[in-house]
Structure 1
């Protein structure tokens, strides 16, 4: 009986609830034993996740698992909202709590109880099914996060949503539908104007916002060409047309492949500098020191100002065979 219960959970993204256990004739004491022995993880009263998927998951994915488990355990009308919906849609969740599930439910006003924040059912105008989990649509989830949590969490989600195919119009329509005041709608609309579908990662989005806050013109995913028009690189960010800013995520330069990647990266940067560009690298820890990043870019701009202008560049994606692209 126990193995049947766990097998059934594996087919539901690893989630199960006390109701499933009862249906499988698994006694509550056995369910508690599964928690004690580490085979399942209790994420809320009556809601569980298989330990394998749970421990293998990053925070965003854990929020998706938690959300699926809680909604499955509740067994009443409701859908994931806000960052919980983003997680279920596999969109990035940044700078917001991941231990509280947001969902609609049969309540007349917002209510928070033991890791669950409930919103009235009417607050979810469009509900979709994401592999068995009822969830607000992507545009609504992004708008909810933007309106409640502000620019950075909202634009991280908006960039990813736009890149995946959600339209700008859909995001603006969702904001207009959800904003409680004209002022809130206008503020969120202005924030949405800074979103960029060209961003390829959370780190790139955060770096772009940091640079824009300094008042600089910033372009994402720019093709850099030499004097003959041959594209030599596609760079993460280009500041004021002169300084290349590259965000480095989990780049490893270990072993033979790592050494080859490092050598290729050096050749790429040498080619950019030979064309008159300055190159600044940003890593995750730098994002906690915006002043340091700003000083580095400011110094690079000053160095570039003393040299002839670099060749014109163009934004846009290219086939990887047509230009050098860092794989970090």
Structure 2
């Protein structure tokens, strides 16, 4: 099996973006007629897409926003200058990173301050051009490490940790992330460096990373990810284990049990086996992450009930 490099993967991903219509691809008369009839929808000045490409209203809102961001990205690439690169959320989409928020603007990094702002874009400046990557199709974007550092700096720390975990899982190293952070980031450097110190390369999902962040924020030390537990039913790997306690934290996503009708039964067997091995399984859902203050109180209560001493102050620095 041929394994694609990170740059090859990104190039293939960008090639799969929707086809954008401009006066360079079809005649101006057809373009204007299609726009007037509603067959073409304007994305950015001079850039249109067929209305069939728009996200379905039946999709969840966050998926509609995500698809809309991809359309905007496809339009933004059309007008990308030689001294510009996709960055931030736009480069993150190309790297297939987890995506949050409602910002569908095309984010562009320039190596100087020249040029006027453009509709539908967010312009950033940097003098550190060596960290830009050009795909085989000539589309320039920030590399994985710089993209993640930008996103971590611009996001809530819990989301920033999810970005950094994901980057390490797909091949970035903590050292390379630190180097890029030191050399390219102006605002938020200290926050990102602390998050890099908390990040791991074996977190299975963004929500698991967020959960771990709130454990750290609750002053829980010594959290081990993907902890191996040998049981009578075989070997299982728990999302998070708090060392020196019997507590295992498992994040349950909404779709975890929807794909396989037997998934709920299998998960019950797995949990029973973990409990028989002497562990206490704590289920975490989006409800807990949406109310982190209450979640942290619950975490501290569980820890103290198992004789785990939660420090009042101090410990590792959590932004």
5+ residue gaps, structure 1: 1-9, 307-328
Q: How many residues align?
A: 286
Change (3 A) 1:264 1:299: farther
Q: 1:111 to 1:178 in 2, by over 3 A?
A: farther
Corresponding residue number in structure 2 for 1:246:
250
**Change in 2 beyond 3 A, CA 1:173/1:31:** farther
Contact 1:77 1:105 in 2 (8 A): yes
- Superposition map of 1:106-185 within 5 A: 108=113, 113-120=118-125, 122-130=127-135, 132=137, 133-149=139-155, 151-180=157-186, 184-185=188-189
Q: Offset at 1:253?
A: 4.6
Structure 2 match to 1:88 = 94
TM-score by length of 2: 0.77
Structure 1 pair 136–106 and aligned structure 2 pair: CA distance change class (3 A): closer
Secondary structure at 1:276 match in 2 = coil
The root-mean-square deviation of aligned C-alpha atoms, in Å, is 3.2
CA distance in 1 between counterparts of 2:136 and 2:54 reads 18
1:232 aligns with 2:235: yes
Distance 1:91 1:145, change over 3 A: same
SS at match of 2:24: helix
Per-residue displacement from partner, 1:277-313 (whole Å, max 9, x unpaired)? 111111122211113323443444355459xxxxxxx
Q: Which residue is equivalent to 1:55? A: 55
Query: C-alpha separation between the residues in 2 aligned to 1:15 and 1:117?
Result: 22
Q: 2:78 aligns with which of 72, 94, 110?
A: 72
Distance 2:54 2:145 in 1: 27
Shift of 1:116: 0.7
* Structure 2 unmatched runs, 5+: 1-13, 57-62, 309-319
Contact 1:16 1:73 in 2 (8 A): no
Return the alpha-carbon distance in structure 2 between the equivalents of residues 242 and 169 of structure 1: 32
Q: How far apart, in 2, do the equivalents of 1:178 and 1:11 lie? A: 28
